[in-house]
Amino acid sequence: MCGRFANTLPSDAMAQLFDAAPANTLPHVPNYNVCPTTDIHVIYRTDDHRRLVPMRWGFVPKWYKAPNDGPLLINARAETLADKPVFREACRVRRCLIPADGFYEWHRPEAGDKQPWFIQPAGEGPMVFAGIWQDWQQDGQRLSTCAMVTTEAQGRMAEIHHRIPVMVRPEHWAKWLGEEGHGAATLMCAAPDEALRFHRVSRAINSNRALGPELIEELDE
């Protein structure tokens, strides 16, 4: 699963890149340690245009009586996305894009503690995750929430962790957002090794209070 990522692209640059109208309450960037349950930048389509908005990272089903009424759903498995009642409607009509610089994953060697890695695009531009979103409302409280779509890792990524976020290339953004009809299911596959760069980072990222660009720097050991 993906449980942390980094996002440093300025909000106005994100709005321009995705041709999306930005909300006035977007999260602070840069953020080198984006954690679950915090607000993140999300692009979705409504009323024939794209919007860049904040959403809570942690999908809240409509039947939850409170945001913490059940498991924290930060990831949704591509293999069961269309079948699980909790995600089924969202995967059909409420898909979104989640921009990032890269994400963190932890590998446990045969001996020793877990080692964090930072995975980022091999080329230019941001890493864009496939997501789904859900508005939740109870007793006057309202939240816009989302989850990342993940799939089975391949190649070198599988040596670090068995799951990987689904990444959407620029030419497929419109299809994932539902702007080009059907076919979004064909996009839910793992990125090849050549599309990614991997390096080890400090265990400082283990703390959800850790801050600063040093979190994504390559470990010199």
If one counts every other C-beta atom within 10 angstroms of the C-beta of residue 209, the result is 7
Contact predicate 101/126, CB 8 Å: yes
The rounded distance, in Å, linking the Cα atoms of 146 and 51 is 14
How far are the Cα atoms of 5, 16, 203, 208, 216 from residue 113, in angstroms, in the given order? 20, 42, 10, 18, 19
Which residues form the catalytic set? 2, 105
The rounded distance, in Å, linking the Cα atoms of 39 and 170 is 23
The rounded distance, in Å, linking the Cα atoms of 197 and 123 is 9
